[in-house]
Structure 1
């Protein structure tokens, strides 16, 4: 059987289409670009505060050993450092809030409507080195709907790498695809793609989000196509998760990865 030719590389967008370019010059994060909390409506801004360092063009997002669980009520011992580009919720006690990741969520701290970057189609790309997580952690970039209507809740996962899926040589399984949550127009289409280069070195993970499809690439080469597309604005979610093991097992802290760039291009 003849070999299947590789998919052609995705051409870069024109520079004048750039509409979001993360400022990683340091020493502080640009709070006009990022909200440094993870879904604070289901917990609190204090418990969901991200930890990170930013300098010389590199953001290191990290989880420290003494970091509290972001929502012990709803997510057990999971620790998260997350940067997102919008937030909104209903009143305390309501169920109105973004990313309904499980049943029974209730707003614990109301969030005002804040929208820093909420693209509707276009290209999102990140240059990242997944160089500091062990088998008890995960690094990821994903998009979620703003949920002005409950069904506007799909997720586009640009990349997701668990430390347990990184081999000794740095090759890894890279998760990419789409989850519907409460969007009836989207079906689940997600997979872990084998990537044979070293994910501990910087690579470019990209989605081209079009009205009819979403195309996923690594270093400009197409790795997955999804023939469906959320039809509403979305926001970025950049994060490192830690999943503390049961004693006597231990995890290595800090859990972290390096981000060299995050860019968004408007649709042509």
Structure 2
């Protein structure tokens, strides 16, 4: 699916949809922990608020712990559409993205709330401009059937320092990780947007390949695509030591809406 155009949306209602207008997070769609099996609950738990405005505020707060002590300084608030891990001490679990021997510290029961092997989704977000922050959206292989089913569709990674009033630099593409059938294909692009304002990203993936677009404009396309269950992750990171300035917190990004179709579409 190497293309310069985004395939049209299906002429049916989405299989999942969330505008974050409810007073509480939808537990039938979202897990509010970042890869909880590789760490402990007090470190993986997201900070966020539903403030009655446009969407959900992902937050990094001053007292937030590093995701793992070994990765310090790194704090993250994340929503993801499922969880899976092997037993305590094993190396089985979703998104073994580190080469230095991740091990299960908190075994998690398998819950696949939205994890299609192909499909389409649209997510509208406002990225963070707070110092040290990065907003990212990824699809990652669940790895529940095989650790080789570990590929990633990196919808975008946006550093706060890359956002300007009329342009934003992004990283986008496919990461093979442990999938021998994939080759890492990443691009760096400068888009004519202010990513701190709401923008809609679209991903279509399936047997024909992968398309990643922002506001209907293709950012990256490939003839390759993972072909196994994938979780969606929306992550706000703070990289670096916490600021000594209490007024710098909370740091935030916003998820305005999400909708997805199970594929192929």
TM-score by length of 2: 0.91
Quote the offset at 1:203 in angstroms. 0.9
* Correspondence for 2:172 among 171, 176, 179: 176
Corresponding residue for 1:118?
A: 115
* Correspondence for 2:234 among 227, 235, 238: 238
* Correspondence for 1:61 among 55, 58, 63: 58
Gap regions ≥5 residues in structure 2: none
Corresponding residue for 2:253?
A: 257
* Correspondence for 1:34 among 10, 30, 34: 30
Q: Matches of residues 189-200 of structure 1 in structure 2 within 5 Å?
A: 189-200=185-196
Alpha-carbon distance in 2 for matches of 1:240, 1:251: 19
Q: Matches of residues 83-232 of structure 1 in structure 2 within 5 Å?
A: 83-102=79-98, 103-130=100-127, 132-147=128-143, 148-167=145-164, 169-232=165-228
Gap regions ≥5 residues in structure 1: 1-5
The 3-state SS of whatever aligns with 1:164 is helix
Alpha-carbon distance in 2 for matches of 1:8, 1:118: 25
Alpha-carbon distance in 1 for matches of 2:247, 2:187: 26
Whether the aligned pair in 2 keeps the contact of 1:43 and 1:71 (CA below 8 Å) is yes
Quote the offset at 1:246 in angstroms. 8.2
Alpha-carbon distance in 2 for matches of 1:162, 1:8: 26
* Correspondence for 1:43 among 32, 39, 44: 39
Runs ≥4 residues deviating over 3 A: 6-10, 245-252
TM-score by length of 1: 0.90
Whether the aligned pair in 1 keeps the contact of 2:83 and 2:111 (CA below 8 Å) is yes
Quote the offset at 1:15 in angstroms. 3.2
Whether the aligned pair in 2 keeps the contact of 1:48 and 1:80 (CA below 8 Å) is yes
Quote the offset at 1:46 in angstroms. 2.3
Q: 2:69 aligned with 1:72, yes or no?
A: yes
Please tell me the root mean square deviation across aligned C-alpha atoms, in Å: 2.1
Corresponding residue for 2:17?
A: 21
